[in-house]
Structure 1
Amino acid sequence: MISKISINFRPDDVDAIPVIEKIISHCQRYPIDVFLPDYKILKERGYSSFIDEDSFFSPDLAIAIGGDGTFLKAARLFSNKGCPIVGINRGKLGFLTEFNPDEFELYFQDIIMGNYLISERTVMEAIHKNNSCDSLIFFNDAVITKGAFSRAVEIEISVDDLFLTKYSGDGLIIATATGSTAYSLSAGGPVVAPFDNEVIVLNPVCPHSLSLRPLILPAKSLIKARVISNITNLLLTIDGQEAIRFSGGDEILFRLSDKKMKIILHPKKNYYAILREKLNWG
């Protein structure tokens, strides 16, 4: 049985408070401790007793209330713990936040008793090969962009130390199967069902070439990308939440991480049903 639960949500999401109240009320019937982030709106509403930073980062179960961005934030916060995460959708699309607030209570009892299914998703690592060797993990995608510049940049890519291509365009997306329904999809990439997570999508953004298309690669591939153009203030954006600035000539490495993102699945939904619902398929 679960004994420690941490809840993450956006610091300004006042409408998440009633959902949090229901979770706390339910947990108080059992020997389950609930921990909340150190947010001003929680302190103002009398939840200070649930705020404990050390305990917050070491739960048995994490709950993310919001959209996919909030879920990815929770995955980053608890990546070292490796605990399962359940998402309650208060966003728009919500591919990762599979439960609705109104129905979550129906399944919460089973979840805290450990009766749930987990999908383990691939986690990747992006490394900026400079003096400090900046490294960040990503769950959805890592994106090389040209920052504020309006002109195209030239990017050279190799896979497992073998030259792949060189092209001019707006950037590059490296997406996991989980992230294939995010930015990569908007950039013309394929939807990759996350049943076999050991693949990634290499997706050039607006390449100045009719023949250069998105490419599916094994997740264990070592991808090296280098912006050849002599430009500073380029950006490597991680899951749309964190960014590393770099300059032309710097090398960015993408490789498989030994971490996994563990998602608690909705017992009454399947991946194809979620695709139909979120993408408005017939």
Structure 2
Amino acid sequence: MKIAIYGKNIESEHIGALKELFSQLEKYRVEVCIYKPLIDYISNKLSFTPTIHNAYDKPEEIKGKVDFMISLGGDGTFLDSVSFVQESNIPIMGINLGRLGFLATISIPEMNDAIDLLMAGKYKVEKRSMLEVISTSNLFTSFPFGLNDFTMQKSGTSMLKVNTYIDDEYLSTYWADGLIVSTPTGSTAYSLSVGGPIVSPNLSAFILSAIAPHNLTVRPFVIPDTSTLKLEATGRDGKVFLSLDSKSLICDSPLTVTLKKAPFHANVICLEGTTFYRTLRGKLLWGVDKRS
């Protein structure tokens, strides 16, 4: 079996967990392929050189050559790993070295058991829908796809105006600090913090959530992900801040962006005994009631 290890800057407090992970993989005779910047970081900063069979720093170097990817870090690192594997369909498992860990669900104490389950084949691969960003400005050219969300936000102190169309039909004009378009996976991220609904990741939908709307009647809106969204944004200062998962940039306005469902999925490893609903209760304390 071949497994790619992906990560970036790992804190020194996690060096023990890192050594334990490589020891566990070696026990199962796993051929380990490690992200080159991670090798350099842990060798120089943590004075630890793991057993390495191969190294990579480009997506094509692991496409079709590894069975899984293990993402080491928080949810941001997990999103970066999704961008890295691109359309290769490599299943990803996240070990949480960050804070909340909603995508990177496996905690350090659970790590060894997680590897055991993975090696025993006690898992399923969930196909998570993604969104695609299309623009004449060629935004996010390296990988214009997102697992969580796309946002348009003001770049200064003045609010943003966003004309919104669904399948070429006018929906509304948002006067707000910004607009979030999220996938079901992203419904528990930024969208949730502005009052958006929690949507099960096996549903096919987009969620539109305004950021601080200057309108009492604006509410989050759920539409089928078979729809095509067109967003026309105008910032009073002539700029618009955009983000796609963990990537961001500032563009001139007015700006028109089209969003649609990506033609491929992100493959997320779900170990035996792990479910979206259990993660909701455990990570976000959803539905917690002292009477239960």
Shift of 1:32: 2.3
| Distance in structure 1 (CA, Å) of the matches to 2:10 and 2:124 | 31
Q: 1:252 aligns with which of 251, 257, 265?
A: 257
Equivalent positions of 1:35-46 (< 5 A) are: 35-38=33-36, 39=38, 40-44=40-44, 45-46=48-49
SS at match of 1:111: helix
**Counterpart residue identity of residue 142, structure 1:** F
**Counterpart residue identity of residue 135, structure 2:** H
Contact 1:42 1:48 in 2 (8 A): no
Shift of 1:94: 1.3
Contact 1:84 1:118 in 2 (8 A): yes
Count residues with an aligned counterpart: 276
Residues 75-127 of structure 1 deviation map (CA, whole Å, 9 limit, x = unaligned): 11112321111111222221112222212212313313433112110011112
Shift of 1:230: 4.9
Contact 2:158 2:237 in 1 (8 A): no
SS at match of 1:228: strand
In structure 1, the residue matched to 2:184 is 177
Shift of 1:16: 3.8
Q: 2:266 aligns with which of 261, 264, 275?
A: 261
Contact 2:134 2:257 in 1 (8 A): yes
Shift of 1:217: 0.8
In structure 1, the residue matched to 2:24 is 26
Q: 1:110 aligns with which of 91, 107, 117?
A: 117
Contact 1:128 1:134 in 2 (8 A): no
Residues 34-65 of structure 1 deviation map (CA, whole Å, 9 limit, x = unaligned): 12222333233234845522645652101112
Over aligned residues, Cα RMSD in angstroms? 2.1
Shift of 1:134: 4.9
**Counterpart residue identity of residue 143, structure 1:** T
Uncovered stretches (5+) of structure 2, i.e. residues with no partner = none
In structure 2, the residue matched to 1:77 is 84
Uncovered stretches (5+) of structure 1, i.e. residues with no partner = none
| Distance in structure 1 (CA, Å) of the matches to 2:228 and 2:68 | 32
| Distance in structure 2 (CA, Å) of the matches to 1:46 and 1:133 | 38
In structure 2, the residue matched to 1:199 is 205
Equivalent positions of 1:94-173 (< 5 A) are: 94-130=101-137, 132=138, 134-135=140-141, 136-147=144-155, 149-173=156-180
| Distance in structure 2 (CA, Å) of the matches to 1:167 and 1:271 | 32
Shift of 1:146: 1.1
What is the TM-score with the length of structure 2 in the denominator?
0.87
Find runs of 4+ consecutive structure 1 residues off by over 6 angstroms. none
Shift of 1:74: 1.0
